Chains A and B, each alone.
Chain A
Amino acid sequence: MPSSVMPTSSRADGPQPPAAISTAGLRKSYGDKTVLDGIDLHIPAGSVFALLGPNGAGKTTIVKILSTLISADGGQAQVAGHGLATDPQAVRAAIGVTGQFSAVDGLITGEENMLLMADLHHLPKREGRRVAAELLERFDLTEAAKKPASTYSGGMKRRLDIAMTLVGNPRIIFLDEPTTGLDPRSRHNMWQIIRELVTGGVTVFLTTQYLEEADELADRIAVLNHGKIAAEGTAEELKRLIPGGHIRLRFTDPVAYQTAATTLGEATRDDDALTLQIPSDGSQRELRSILDWLDTAGIEADELTVHTPDLDDVFFALTSTDTTHTNQRKETVR
């Protein structure tokens, strides 16, 4: 497997950019169940990092540990240059957290929630009111500001949640599944919000089950499976990691299809659609050799398309339960 993207330790060569978040060998277990089994992360300041994983992979546990909510059983972690174990208050002063479950006070109004946050961040009264009004406006909550937060819709609660997180101007923001349960429009709004945060130089640590979301937002993505980082890299690097890319040949003439299918032993057949799939990483070199080979064999397809794997393929390949890494070239994913 390509070593440039797999282990985080291999990036030790050369000076590393200042890390907003770094962990080494982070562990956590509940009773017999190991939830995190040695997590190494290095997240540069000002970047968006997405932690991708199936339900129960340990995503929320990592967020809870890094945001000082719970303590790790082992390993080291630094957030904003402060040790999690040694100076949690300094970490708290630098971070903002929006958890998976709404962290708003439902009994009081949206505005009162905002003012509560301003008070807890020790802002002077006047500034607190200004910041609250500004954020309510920015998140389109001004109209609902005087209503109890319990009457808000899911999307409004989530927006209020993020607005509250932003009150103290945190430099590092944790978002645990920020778009779970949101409709497509609210999801896109949330993405826009996250992009704006990054433009402001904020480091965003995001967990998600949606590959599209990670692809859309993140500079780097880590896939968490069974408490371990199964792979880490940019979306492109991850996609190159696994098979799933293929060349698709479509025929209209059944006879030509049959001939080609017999000649191309390693191709996956689809007799109804008269198409053949040849595994390929989509590189120019491989494409050329396949074309040459098709010419030599005298196979003339009516249509040739190149498919690169998407993050779905990566996700399924890396988080399948039978094998940890499906990396054999011959095996077609799913």
Chain B
Amino acid sequence: MSSLTLAARDASTMLRRNLLHARRYPSLTLNLLLTPIMLLLLFVYIFGDTMSAGIDGGAADRSDYIKYLVPGLLLMTIGSTTIGTAVSVSTDMTEGIIARFRTIAIHRGSVLVGHVIGSVLQSIISVVLVGAVGVAIGFRSTDATVLEWLAAFGLLTLFALALTWIAVGMGLVSPNAEAASNNAMPLIFLPLISSTFVPIHAMPGWFQPIAEYQPFTPAIETLRGLLLGTEIGHNGWLAIAWCVGLAVLGYFWSTSTFKRDPK
């Protein structure tokens, strides 16, 4: 077998292990789903009338606000799921089993790749679940073509991959699960200060750059454009650049941290 085949085989073994964990102990994943779902229901049913007054120059109603809200919450779901990734990577690293993996002749990166693929799959499942809640309360796309749906799906996957690599790095540098959870807070905090809930132009001037120059806003705007037909503009390229940049950064950060001698 070539080294690439072996690497793929080891990674798939590790992936099976991570999926087994997720299946046996789904509570962590499900708990993380609660935040985006609760925010969705809260903002639609409790704040919905007020919030909708702020978009489309006041001509929108609650059902328009559902449309506005769902894309951002789908991306927030990914952020929330990857907090779980950071926690589980950090917990895993404190276990003796990782030391065992390091002393077997397997592909070195397979432990991390298994975590990443497992986490991306979990993110996709979570996005589908939150999306289903969105559809149940009235979210519909505005004549999105099959190609646009595929692009939306691709963007969500790429975004999940990028945040997951970052979360893996956060998990690796955290000494324990609590620290990992704290270190990964930006992943759930950033979507709160993005264009998820209100348009950037409705924010105070000094805050607009903060909301604009971060990965969530361009990804949200791109997703809105794909599903609702709004203007994407330069956000498409920005979103992809953010994703690729974060994925590459997270990859090198994680692998170099993992390669270091364990304490």
Contacts of A108 in B (CB 8 A): 17, 20-21, 24
Assign chain A's interface to a size class: 20 to 34
Interface string of A139-164 (1 = CB under 8 A from B): 00000000010000000000000001
* B141 on interface, CB distance cutoff 8 Å: no
Binding site secondary structure of chain B: helix
Q: How many contacts A-B (CB < 8 Å)?
A: 66
Interface string of A66-97 (1 = CB under 8 A from B): 01111100000000000000000110110101
Q: Are B97 and A104 in contact (CB under 8 A)?
A: yes
Q: Are A116 and B17 in contact (CB under 8 A)?
A: yes
Q: Which of A48-56, A117-125, A316-324 contacts B (4 or more CB under 8 A)?
A: A117-125
* B205 on interface, CB distance cutoff 8 Å: no
Contacts of B13 in A (CB 8 A): 116, 119-120
Q: Are A89 and B105 in contact (CB under 8 A)?
A: yes
* A102 on interface, CB distance cutoff 8 Å: yes
Contacts of B100 in A (CB 8 A): 97, 99, 103, 164-165
Within 8 A of A (CB), among B83-123: 95-97, 99-106
Partner pick for A70 among B24, B25, B106, B262, CB 8 A cutoff:
B262
Q: Are A105 and B17 in contact (CB under 8 A)?
A: yes
* A107 on interface, CB distance cutoff 8 Å: yes
How near does chain A come to B1, taking the closest CB pair, in angstroms?
A: 8
Partner pick for A168 among B6, B16, B104, CB 8 A cutoff:
B104
Q: How far is it, in angstroms, between the C-alpha of A120 and the C-alpha of B108 when the chains are bound?
A: 12
Q: How far is it, in angstroms, between the C-alpha of A333 and the C-alpha of B10 when the chains are bound?
A: 55
Q: Are B21 and A107 in contact (CB under 8 A)?
A: yes
A105-B95, A105-B97 known; A120 and B103 CB under 8 Å? Answer: no
Interface string of A217-235 (1 = CB under 8 A from B): 0000000000000000000
Q: Are A97 and B103 in contact (CB under 8 A)?
A: yes
Contacts of B104 in A (CB 8 A): 92, 117, 120-121, 168
Q: Are B17 and A99 in contact (CB under 8 A)?
A: no
How near does chain A come to B178, taking the closest CB pair, in angstroms?
A: 19
Contacts of A107 in B (CB 8 A): 20-21, 24-25
Interface centre among B24, B95, B96, B262 (most CB of A within 10 A): B96
Binding site secondary structure of chain A: loop
Q: Are A120 and B101 in contact (CB under 8 A)?
A: yes
Q: How far is it, in angstroms, between the C-alpha of A32 and the C-alpha of B235 when the chains are bound?
A: 52
How near does chain A come to B254, taking the closest CB pair, in angstroms?
A: 19
Q: How far is it, in angstroms, between the C-alpha of A68 and the C-alpha of B21 when the chains are bound?
A: 27
How near does chain B come to A135, taking the closest CB pair, in angstroms?
A: 15
Partner pick for B105 among A71, A92, A105, A148, CB 8 A cutoff:
A92
Q: Are A103 and B9 in contact (CB under 8 A)?
A: no
Within 8 A of A (CB), among B19-72: 20-21, 24-25
How near does chain B come to A88, taking the closest CB pair, in angstroms?
A: 9
How near does chain B come to A83, taking the closest CB pair, in angstroms?
A: 15
Q: How far is it, in angstroms, between the C-alpha of A318 and the C-alpha of B184 when the chains are bound?
A: 50
Interface string of A171-184 (1 = CB under 8 A from B): 00000000000000
* B261 on interface, CB distance cutoff 8 Å: yes
* A25 on interface, CB distance cutoff 8 Å: no
Contacts of B96 in A (CB 8 A): 99, 101-104
Contacts of A89 in B (CB 8 A): 105
Closest A residue, CB atoms, query B101: A120
A99-B96, A108-B17 known; A92 and B103 CB under 8 Å? Answer: yes
Q: How far is it, in angstroms, between the C-alpha of A119 and the C-alpha of B101 when the chains are bound?
A: 12
* A106 on interface, CB distance cutoff 8 Å: yes
* A215 on interface, CB distance cutoff 8 Å: no
Q: Are B24 and A95 in contact (CB under 8 A)?
A: no
Q: Are B20 and A93 in contact (CB under 8 A)?
A: no
Partner pick for A71 among B16, B24, B261, CB 8 A cutoff:
B261
Closest A residue, CB atoms, query B91: A107
14 of the cross-chain contacts (CB-CB < 8 Å) are: A70-B262, A92-B105, A93-B105, A97-B103, A99-B96, A99-B100, A101-B96, A101-B99, A102-B96, A103-B100, A108-B21, A117-B104, A119-B9, A122-B9
* Extra A-B contacts (6), CB below 8 Å, given A93-B105, A121-B104: A69-B103, A99-B99, A101-B99, A112-B20, A119-B9, A165-B100
B-to-A contact residues, CB < 8 Å? 1, 6, 9-10, 13, 16-17, 20-21, 24-25, 95-97, 99-106, 261-262
A-to-B contact residues, CB < 8 Å? 67-71, 89-90, 92-93, 95, 97, 99, 101-108, 112, 116-117, 119-122, 148, 164-165, 168
